[in-house]
Amino acid sequence: MKAQCISHCLLGMTLILYSVHTHSLRRCLISVDMRLIEKSFHEIKRALQNKDTFQNVTILSTLQSLKTIKPIDVCCVTKNLLTFYKDRVFKDHQELSPQILRNISNIANSFLYMQRALQQCQGQRWCQCSQEAINATRIVHDNYNQLEVRSAALKSLGELDIFLAWIDKNHQETSAT
């Protein structure tokens, strides 16, 4: 009986920690206007995706199998992917069209803002990375490394809708609790 109670209590604690965690993530990103980012992306989506010649591979494959990422890992994966876009994709991409470039800059600025919001509000304590989250991030980098750098950057930009939808979904889920 006693052992059963202990496991129940532990489960309860874990659930409380999960909900505190997701609530704090929601609060961290609540000031970010996702529609603005989505609007910028919508303007350039066609142009980017039409130039992508490797339709048979995906970079953000781990996000498409959403169920593998647990709520507790949402903060870590979001943070890691923002860094991935900031440090690799936006730097590696070469854009000739000034209009597209301005839209990409808008998205990049919003990502920087989101990253700061996460850093300030989470602290390290609420944004720990499990082995699964580390693996999920590594797969994204591995996929990226498999392509020539320009193609990889272009494809990752074209896949921003996957990442944005994923952030949106996790917002909504946490908003509902």
Ligand X SMILES: *[C@@H]1O[C@H](CO)[C@@H](O)[C@H](O)[C@H]1NC(C)=O
Under the rule (CB under 6 A), what is the footprint of ligand X? 43-44, 54, 56-57, 99-100, 102-103, 106, 131-132, 135
Min separation Cβ 156 and ligand X, Å? 16
**Rounded Cα–Cα distance for residues 10 and 148 (Å):** 48
Taking the least distance from each CB to ligand X, the nearer of 4 and 131 is 131
Min separation Cβ 131 and ligand X, Å? 4
N-to-C CA span, the chain: 31
Taking the least distance from each CB to ligand X, the nearer of 44 and 118 is 44
- Cα 19 to chain centroid, rounded: 19
58: left (phi over 0), alpha (psi -120 to 50) or beta: beta
**Rounded Cα–Cα distance for residues 147 and 155 (Å):** 9
Taking the least distance from each CB to ligand X, the nearer of 81 and 104 is 104
Output the residue with the shortest Cβ distance to ligand X: 102
Min separation Cβ 9 and ligand X, Å? 25
Min separation Cβ 99 and ligand X, Å? 4
Taking the least distance from each CB to ligand X, the nearer of 69 and 127 is 69
Query: Cα Rg for the chain, rounded, in angstroms?
Result: 18
Picking from 52, 61, 62, 27, the residue whose alpha carbon sits closest to that of residue 151 is 52
